[in-house]
Amino acid sequence: MKTKILIALFLCAMIFMTNCTNDDDSEEPISMSALTLNLQGLSNLGANEVYEGWIMVSGTPKTTGTFTVNDSGELSQTSFEVDREDLESATAFILSVEPANDTDPAPSEIKILSGPFSESVAMVNTNEMIGDFTNSAGTFFLRSPTDEMIGAPNNMNDEYGIWFGDIDQGMPPVPNFTLPLLDATKWVYEGWVIANGMPISTGRFSAFNMQDDFNGYSQINGKIGPNLPGEDFFINPPMGVMFPLDVRNRMVVISVEPAVNDDPKPFLLKPLAGISGTELVKNKALMINFNAIPSGTVTR
């Protein structure tokens, strides 16, 4: 009798162990697949920020991983292992800028590239997230109206100011940008002059026919200048630069900045650039700067 009981207990134990083994075998490991980035026009964000990729799966963003970019524009990583099922069902790719030690599982508001998947490839650009800069153009001129007394003649020192618009058509000068209008809650334009390797802001703006948000270097005689973005450089010089600043033969840049950004240097997206030359009160061309307009492909 005892022998039968022992045999029965043994058989029950074997059945239990077999069931456990079958359960374990049913839990297949997650299958991974490679996502490959081929992106151009990105720049070094410094130590405090990173780039992060996202795929849209059933309307939800899922991270594909973070990477950095060096001063030569090279990505620290171009291939990422992603859940195969998620990757196969993804409808689009998005690239954002995130804090380096970010704990938020969702993407930030600073989304710079996006594109839908067509079969295995997504062509990504700034069009949806920021604007289409394909036909970007503009002009600027050298003049320093803010040091002229109201009603007085030109003081003949126009090498100390830069204003964005068209003066060749006569006075007053008029706007002359070909740029997309931005969502001002997320993005703004900013003008820059490069002096001694240092970018100096001329101010931020969203409208092309109004003054920008800054006049801290100009307005020394109470005159405020034309209804255009721009700046004269007479007072309150930043450290490392002497004023009045002769802006002839300087690099001039228009950048697109996150509305929440207070960085003293231009953001990575710089659609227009030009050289100021030596001629005063004459239009200078701002040319499209393809090397600083991010784009590329994402392959799954």
Q: Residues 272, 286: contact at Cβ < 8 Å?
A: yes
Per-residue pLDDT, 242: 95
Q: Residues 69, 44: contact at Cβ < 8 Å?
A: yes
β-strand 161-164 against 138-142: which pairing, if any?
antiparallel
Domain boundaries, the chain: 32-124, 138-292
Per-residue pLDDT, 10: 44
Per-residue pLDDT, 251: 98
- Record the pTM: 0.87
**What distance in Å separates the CA atoms of residue 19 and residue 25, rounded to the nearest whole number?**
10
Per-residue pLDDT, 16: 45
DSSP-derived 3-state class of residue 11: helix
Longest dimension (CA), the chain: 123
Give me the sign of the Cα torsion angle 70, 75, 77, 81: positive
Residue 22: both structure tokens together: 């079958």
Q: Residues 52, 66: contact at Cβ < 8 Å?
A: yes
Element (H, E) at 26: helix 2-26
Spatial CB neighbours of 28, under 8 Å, sequence gap ≥ 6: none
- Tens-binned pLDDT, residue by residue, of the chain (300 aa): 444 444 444 444 454 444 444 444 555 677 999 999 999 999 999 999 999 999 999 999 999 999 999 999 999 999 999 999 999 999 999 999 999 988 899 999 999 999 999 999 999 999 999 999 999 999 999 999 998 765 556 678 999 999 999 999 999 999 999 999 999 999 999 999 999 999 999 999 999 999 999 999 998 877 788 999 999 999 999 999 999 999 999 999 999 999 988 788 999 999 999 999 999 999 999 999 999 999 999 999
Element (H, E) at 201: strand 198-205
46 burial via Cβ count (<10 Å: 0-12, 13-18, 19+)? exposed
- Count CA atoms closer than 13 A to 116's CA, side-chain side: 5
